[in-house]
Amino acid sequence: MKVNEALMQKAIANLKSQERPNFKATAEKYSLERTTLAKRFKGQHGSMKDASSTHKQRLNDIQEQVLIDQINLLTDRGMPPTCQVVHNMAEEIIQAPLGKNWVG
């Protein structure tokens, strides 16, 4: 079942306003699965968009920060890197090829 993200956010806001969150009633009100709503409310389950984004991420947080630092260093020296240079730096950091559209 595909979750309507807008409804899920409204349901979570509704639950937060309740003294004792009633997952069953709130899920029925917004036509959502009770278990999915409960897990999202408790932070045990992210949205599919978040999961997909994390799965597709090529650089981990540390590698990403290294790339940002290199970009900032070049920019501070008055030589902002082109997309191709950023692409090359990222490939060097992860020691693997990236797709042609990875940067832009």
Please give the pLDDT value at position 46.
Answer: 57
Model confidence at 48, pLDDT cuts 50, 70, 90, reads: low
In a domain, 102, yes or no: no
**How far is residue 61's CA from residue 45's CA, in Å, rounded to a whole number?**
21
**How far is residue 41's CA from residue 13's CA, in Å, rounded to a whole number?**
9
Domain extent at residue 33:
5-55
- The phi and psi torsions of 82 (rounded to 5 degrees) equal -75, 170
> How does 22-33 read in b/e, with b if 16+ C-beta sit within 10 Å?
ebeebbeebebe
Which value, in Å, is the radius of gyration of the alpha carbons in the chain?
21
Which of 42, 32, 35, 28 shows the shortest CA–CA distance to 7?
32
Provide the domain count of the chain: 2
pTM equals: 0.50
Please check whether residues 50 and 66 belong to one and the same domain: no
Please check whether residues 47 and 28 belong to one and the same domain: yes
Model confidence at 45, pLDDT cuts 50, 70, 90, reads: low
Please check whether residues 66 and 46 belong to one and the same domain: no
In a domain, 104, yes or no: no
Please give the pLDDT value at position 49.
Answer: 57
User: What is the DSSP secondary structure assignment for residue 81, as one 8-state letter?
Assistant: P
Please check whether residues 10 and 51 belong to one and the same domain: yes
Overall average pLDDT of the 1-14 stretch: 84
Please give the pLDDT value at position 70.
Answer: 96
